[in-house]
Amino acid sequence: MNKKLDQQGAIAIISVVIFATIITVLITAYLRSAVSQQAQSLSYDFSTRAFYAAESGVQDTVRALKSDTSLVKNKDSCAPMTGSEADFGKPDFGASYSCQLIKVNPTTVTGSTSTNVEGALIKLQPQDLNAENTSLIVQWSTKIGDQNLYPRDGDTAQFPQTNRWFAGGRSGEPVHDLLRVEVVDHPNTSFSRDDITQRVAFLNPTKDTDADPSVDFSKSTPRDIKKEQKELFTNANCQTTEDREYACKQTIDLGGYKFTDRSVYVRITSVYRNDTKFSVQLADTASALLPLTNTQVEIDVTAKAGDDTYRRIRQTVSLGGYKTQDLDGGSASAVTVGEGICKNFVISNDPNTFNSGCTP
């Protein structure tokens, strides 16, 4: 009898041990899950706080630049503007932006353009106005989601219909956008039509094999209208997007353009695709990129929440030399400089004074 009771007791003890082990494993798993979920929740919370703190830093910067033009200058130190520069303050939700950088003379101006919706008008004003014999470098076309874009199969000036452009060329692959680039310049003191020059090129997204694929807009030689018309359509150098920031590139020779007494603008519009991202750079004869003024300001803000959660936001803001233009159904027949090419209002009893000083 005692032996039987001893066996039953052993079984009971083993059962209790097994049950206790199972309970311990379940509780441990639950606690681990709860701790992990709490850590994820805290991480998400800190990440959100850091994001909004960084966004706050960007908006603070934009607000300060718009309210005080004296602040429109490069800022290379991380410390936020304080004191006489700007009284920013900091977010009150347990986070702050710890690094704030400002670059007001970028060497690259970026943007996007959409067919029949909007284009870009950029004033080319190098920091060194005496720069001569410059080149305009235009890059465009990025990957659309996970979809790569490809160069056109041929270099023909005959363009396919829109749906085929989207679907691809003969190989069936979607191709890059066809870009329209227009350079306009006029004297700073005159808007007379006779003083305004305009040159246009359509950049065909092919895989160009020419030794010198650049577009010649140079003023160093007398204008040859027939040559310009011939070069209106020009092949660009495009590759497959893959991991490239921009897959297409074209260089435009601006030799002879003066920046000391003339205003020079480049207008960029896309012909087929929407949200075509592009970059514009100005280079000297040594191919060194020139800092541009009054175009865009680059704002770079890093924020911190908690002990080790950081978020970074980079944003560009127009300083007046970059304008987004409505295309009004795709029309690209004119360039609007500021509010208009020419405005001259005169109050007088003499009707002959109407429009004087402005040649329509």
pLDDT digits (tens, 9 = 90+) for 191-208: 677 788 888 889 988 886
Any alpha helices (H) in the chain, and if so which ranges?
A: 2-67, 162-167, 225-230
Residues 79 and 121 in one domain: no
Residues 6+ apart with CB under 8 A from 9: none
Domain-terminating residue out of 75, 100, 125: 100
Residue 305 buriedness (CB in 10 A; 0-12 / 13-18 / 19+): buried
Task: Give the tokens for residue 28.
Answer: 């441990």
Residues 26 and 125 in one domain: no
Residues 284 and 150 in one domain: yes
Q: Are 266 and 183 in contact (CB under 8 A)?
A: yes
Residues 175 and 78 in one domain: no
Domain-terminating residue out of 294, 325, 354: 294
86 within some domain: yes
Structural domain total, the chain: 2
Q: Are 285 and 179 in contact (CB under 8 A)?
A: no
Residues 67 and 156 in one domain: no
Domain-terminating residue out of 262, 279, 294: 294
Residues 69 and 165 in one domain: no
Residues 84 and 114 in one domain: no
Instruction: Indicate if the pLDDT at residue 234 is higher than 70.
Output: yes
Task: Specify the pLDDT at position 222.
Answer: 65
pTM over the 0.85 mark:
no
Residues 95 and 119 in one domain: no
What is the DSSP annotation of 177-195? PPEEEEEEEEETT---GGG
Residues 158 and 52 in one domain: no
41 within some domain: yes
351 within some domain: no
Task: Give the tokens for residue 124.
Answer: 């080319």
Instruction: Indicate if the pLDDT at residue 281 is higher than 70.
Output: yes
337 within some domain: no
Q: What is the pLDDT confidence band of residue 91, given thresholds at 50, 70 and 90?
A: very low
End-to-end CA distance of the chain: 122
Residues 79 and 174 in one domain: no
217 within some domain: yes
Place of tokens 């978020």: 311
Number of Cβ atoms within 10 Å of the Cβ of 53: 25
162 within some domain: yes
Higher pLDDT, 94 or 178: 178
pLDDT, tens only, 103-126: 888 899 999 888 878 889 999 999
Task: Give the tokens for residue 325.
Answer: 């233009």
Closest C-alpha among 83, 46, 10, 15 to residue 307: 46
Calculate mean pLDDT across residues 85-100. Answer: 54
Give the residue numbers spanning the domain of 65.
2-100
320 within some domain: no
Residues 226 and 92 in one domain: no
325 within some domain: no
**Of 23-27, 112-116, 325-329, highest mean pLDDT:** 112-116
What is the DSSP annotation of 120-181? EEEE--BSSTT--SEEEEEEE---BTTB--B-BS---SPPPPHHHHHH-STT---BPPPEEE
Residues 72 and 146 in one domain: no
Place of tokens 């396919």: 160
